[in-house]
Amino acid sequence: MEFQTKLIHGNWQGDDKTGATNVPIYYSNAFAHQSAKELENIFIGRDAGYVYSRIANPSVEVFEKRIAAIEGGVAAVATASGMSAIYLTLMNLLKPGDEIISSSGVFGGTYNLLKNLQDYHIHVKFLDNLDAAVLKHEVSEKTKVVFAETIGNPKLDVLDIEAVGEVCREQSIIFIVDATITPPYLIKPIEYGADIVIHSTSKYINGNSNAIGGIVVDGGSKKYSEDKFTGFKHYTKRFGRFAFTAKLRNEIGKDIGAVMSPMNSFLNLVGIETLALRMRAHCENAVKLAEYLSQHPKVTEVNYPLLKTSKYYSIAQKYYSKGASALITCRLGSKQNAFDFIDHLKLISNLVNIGDAQTLVVHPASTICVNNTQEEKVQMGVFEDLVRISVGIEDYKDILEDIDQALKCL
């Protein structure tokens, strides 16, 4: 199947018993079986099947398989949120004494999660410039994971996935890429060397702001068989390239129980059918708005990766031929100007999400990064006069009119 067809039909051909074309919502805590032996075989992994929705659910499984298919992964695990997807992934890989190297431009919630892992004696090293040359210098024998976002939120720094992935391959380091801002219509990081791809499905995948969720896509890496990943020995022997997913499902995933609900899986499946169509509209509007803002006298700085003035322009061209998603940041000279601009918007909503069909705006310094130090905010590309715009799919004329009238009030 081609991409758009796979979004609609991938891993689901309808319900043979009823003829339903939508995936049924299986609201059942547990699943009955005809014999004790049958249930035992499922528990020990000899047979496939469902026993308890904290472990596996038919509605959730369809969503997992569809995401794995469109990302080019071998398997996927759906979770209760994007943050739980990150946490479960890291705790499936790391032990006390291990080290993570991360881009400093990651989302504020992710930055804090990584920082707080030091309470578990997991060292985290944040790099302002995560490229191959810097990474080679910073890697140590304790480095187990490199973590980065395809495009940082809200720093909008663009990751050279292929170059960083090559260093991770040479050093046998697991390369985790959060691709929330750039869903698989725009890029598939596994093709460029990522071992694991994470999404907060609450954003572009869902597209309608009606279902919190996350997903972990397993690229089927062979690295887990190496000596530095001793906790995977049993799983690599038994499950081969599915080792990461098997361990996640059987250990931390099952123990924590941060699973996606059947209803949220259904809502995400409905949302993803229009992903390609929506992303084309998002990106088209974002480029036009970024170019307009870059010429506006009341805007002191505009950041969008496909602007020629962006220092990430050449990398963005390499990876994002279909568009570099729909986040724009702009600086307005002062915090008061930023607040006045937001307060005068009429069509555009002031809230912390991204990836909705509607255009959204937020002041990161006073919201998602309010608990970070000034030094950390600078690392994340957050300033007191910075506004982040998540460009929606409304008619561009209406977005522009609202932006323009709000800027005139400054």
Q: Where are the domains of the chain?
A: 3-272, 275-407
pTM of the entire predicted model: 0.96
| 375-395 pLDDT tens trace | 999 999 999 999 999 999 999
**How confident is the model at residue 278, as a pLDDT?**
98
The CATH number given to 3-272 is: 3.40.640.10
DSSP secondary structure letter of residue 127: E
DSSP secondary structure letter of residue 223: G
Rounded Cα gap, residues 148 and 130, in angstroms: 8
Rounded Cα gap, residues 238 and 245, in angstroms: 12
Which residues have CB under 8 Å from 116's CB, separation 6+?
none
Structure confidence at residue 10 as a pLDDT band (50, 70, 90): confident
Strand partners, 390: 327, 360
Structure confidence at residue 19 as a pLDDT band (50, 70, 90): confident
Which residues have CB under 8 Å from 97's CB, separation 6+?
121, 122, 123, 142
Structure confidence at residue 45 as a pLDDT band (50, 70, 90): confident
**How confident is the model at residue 353, as a pLDDT?**
95
**How confident is the model at residue 62, as a pLDDT?**
95
Structure confidence at residue 332 as a pLDDT band (50, 70, 90): very high
User: What is the total residue count of the chain?
Assistant: 410
In this predicted structure, the answer to whether residue 236 has a pLDDT above a threshold of 90 is: yes
Structure tokens, 276? 């390609």
Rounded Cα gap, residues 46 and 391, in angstroms: 48
Mean pLDDT score, 115-141: 95
Question: CATH homologous superfamily of domain 275-407?
Answer: Aspartate Aminotransferase, domain 1 (3.90.1150.10)
What are the E-state strand segments in 258-310?
A: 301-303
Structure confidence at residue 15 as a pLDDT band (50, 70, 90): confident
